[in-house]
Structure 1
Amino acid sequence: IVSDTSKKLNQERKAIKSLLDIKVDAILVAPEGYESSHLIDVINSGTDIVSFGVHFENDEISEVSIDEITGAAKAGAYLKSVGIRDVVMMMGNPRKFTTRGRMEGFMRGFGHVPEDRVIYCEVDWKASCATVSEMQKLPQAFFCYNDMMALGVMKALEERGIELGSEVKVIGYDDVYMAEIAGITTLRIPIRSMVKEAFKTILGDEVRKMVFTPEFIRRKSA
């Protein structure tokens, strides 16, 4: 049974309640990202649950997650190695573990990024496109929360006549299916391996915390 939560906490809570009402044996959830009390309630009810893609500090929650810090550090170190000094971080909700991890990791590899060079906006290509379209001074590079935001940044830059990869570099995150076609430099998340481990965890009897490290993929945009 599949439920789409649109990465919204209220919809996530409703979806989980609906699944518990029909007495499913286990739930695999890609959480909104910063609240875990409702997941603990599922465990206490006797139903198995596995968090996919998000790490929680609570030892009771099984999870298959990403080492966001190590992954983003690769992007930061790369930009630093090619001489980039001015970068804008285009990020999503700052409360989310994934956002915090990607910001911390990037600055671990690149160095400090001033607060006025960190932009939080809706995780959507239209939002990032509109933001970059209105910027008066462009940076040497953008590090984006994910590939969808990177696509919006790239579109805005192209509309402004900027040559991607040489004048301004753009790095995304995830390596979604269209990233290769669009030429996005990104961090590839090993989804297939993570899915296999998630189901092994569901079928097992122990709490497991599996962590995967993204691979840096360099393409035209950087």
Structure 2
Amino acid sequence: MSDVAVLAGVSHQTVSRVLNDHPSVRPETRERVLAAIAELGYRRNSAARALVTRRSGALGVVATSSAHHGPASTLLGLERAAREVGYFLSVATIDRFDAGTLRGALDHFLDQAVEGIAVIAPQVDVADALAEFAAPVPVVTVTSGGVVAGAGAGRVVSVGVDQRAGARDATRHLLDLGHREVLHLAGPQDWFDARERLAGWREADAGAPDPVVVDWEAESGYREGLRLVDAGLPSAVLAANDQVALGLLRAFWERGVRVPDDVSVVGFDDVAGSAFFVPPLTTVRQDFPALGRSAIDALVRVIGGEEVAPTLLPASLVVRGSSGVPR
């Protein structure tokens, strides 16, 4: 800053005022200082600034290494929302969800003087590990599983999408069309989203036998679709997600089963391209940009000392051509 002041012919204090957008600096002086900064290649020392102001302008995000639609879209939503309010993200992806691995990621962020940490916690063991770590900075968990007790000494808040209500609405949509039973191909039960969708299906009183637990992949939907054709076709299926629904549609097409004439199929997530499945997929949409904004807003408010309640954003049913009246 002293070098900039000499080159621009101003005081050290004037340079400081320009950097902090003080209104008392004349426009021509500001331009001269900015030109000197550009000529010298000046960069703020963020670490030193954080020591003085106790504000680093950085947030940490712990994410799973999963490439599944939900966690990946959540991370994008967080990054965009953080930029909108002047924060930058430092991201750590982890493969193992034990307390030691998570502690290492959180300790790394604390060494960087982050002001708060967001944890994308789609799986039960991520939340369990977080509950064992008392973070000295505010933490927001992005999960549909509710508050993670014990973490952050009360400075933890949870934000998520209401998966249960979304699955309940999708099931009731099929029942309202006249289907007496709705089979649920449920996602892996160590995921909060899968548990909540299963709970919503049950709350809708779908009338079907026990759910069939699959994974999140199209291949499992394909295999299950072939099995259903051979074992006895239901009139309606609520799939764990859109990829499982895509596998179902492929299996039914190969076996000459018409959707929705012979069987209705509903997915979950409204992934890009689901409107162009054959037929276009009825599904449940999650607003990931809104989820990111809500999570970052909650984290910033907790950083500012506010009390923030857990938040569940609504999911919305998108009705397309894959659901219809029963045969």
TM above 0.5, yes or no, is yes
Task: Pick from 119, 133, 152 the counterpart of residue 226 of structure 2.
Answer: 133
Task: Pick from 22, 26, 33 the counterpart of residue 123 of structure 2.
Answer: 33
Cα distance in 2, alignment partners of residues 129 and 111 from structure 1: 22
**Alignment partner of 1:214 is 2:315:** yes
Question: Which residue of 1 is the match for residue 96 of structure 2?
Answer: 11
Q: CA deviation at 1:38?
A: 2.0
Question: Which residue of 2 is the match for residue 185 of structure 1?
Answer: 282
Q: CA deviation at 1:16?
A: 5.9
Question: Which residue of 2 is the match for residue 169 of structure 1?
Answer: 264
Contact 1:125/1:152, CA 8 A, preserved across alignment: yes
Aligned in 2, Cα 1:188/1:39: closer, same or farther, shift over 3 Å?
Answer: same
Aligned in 2, Cα 1:120/1:57: closer, same or farther, shift over 3 Å?
Answer: same
> Which has the larger share of helix?
2
Q: Which aligned pairs between 1:140-155 and structure 2 lie closer than 5 A?
A: 140-155=235-250
Highest CA radius of gyration, 1 or 2? 2
Cα distance in 1, alignment partners of residues 206 and 172 from structure 2: 9
Give a deviation string over 1:13-60, Cα, whole Å, max 9, x none: 536623422425233222132232322344x13133222232224454
- List runs of 5+ in structure 2 lacking aligned partners: 1-59, 72-92
Cα RMSD (Å) of the superposition? 2.4
Contact 2:144/2:312, CA 8 A, preserved across alignment: no
Output the TM-score relative to the length of structure 1: 0.86
Deviates more, 1:51-60 or 1:212-221: 51-60
Aligned in 2, Cα 1:78/1:209: closer, same or farther, shift over 3 Å?
Answer: same
Cα distance in 2, alignment partners of residues 111 and 163 from structure 1: 22
The AA in structure 2 aligned to 1:134 is R
Identity of aligned residues (%): 22
Question: Which residue of 2 is the match for residue 108 of structure 1?
Answer: 203
Question: Which residue of 2 is the match for residue 20 of structure 1?
Answer: 107
Cα distance in 1, alignment partners of residues 295 and 146 from structure 2: 15
Aligned in 2, Cα 1:134/1:37: closer, same or farther, shift over 3 Å?
Answer: closer
Contact 1:5/1:12, CA 8 A, preserved across alignment: no
Q: CA deviation at 1:215?
A: 0.8
Cα distance in 2, alignment partners of residues 86 and 213 from structure 1: 25
Equivalent residue of 1:211, what SS?
A: strand
Contact 1:146/1:174, CA 8 A, preserved across alignment: yes
Contact 2:182/2:207, CA 8 A, preserved across alignment: no
Cα distance in 1, alignment partners of residues 107 and 259 from structure 2: 48
Cα distance in 1, alignment partners of residues 189 and 97 from structure 2: 19
Q: CA deviation at 1:82?
A: 1.2
Contact 2:267/2:281, CA 8 A, preserved across alignment: yes
- List runs of 5+ in structure 1 lacking aligned partners: none
Question: Which residue of 2 is the match for residue 198 of structure 1?
Answer: 295
Aligned in 2, Cα 1:175/1:143: closer, same or farther, shift over 3 Å?
Answer: same
Cα distance in 1, alignment partners of residues 242 and 234 from structure 2: 18
Q: Which aligned pairs between 1:89-104 and structure 2 lie closer than 5 A?
A: 89-104=184-199
Output the TM-score relative to the length of structure 2: 0.61
Cα distance in 1, alignment partners of residues 148 and 107 from structure 2: 21
Equivalent residue of 2:238, what SS?
A: strand
Task: Pick from 167, 192, 197 the counterpart of residue 72 of structure 1.
Answer: 167
The AA in structure 1 aligned to 2:246 is L
Aligned residue-pair number: 219
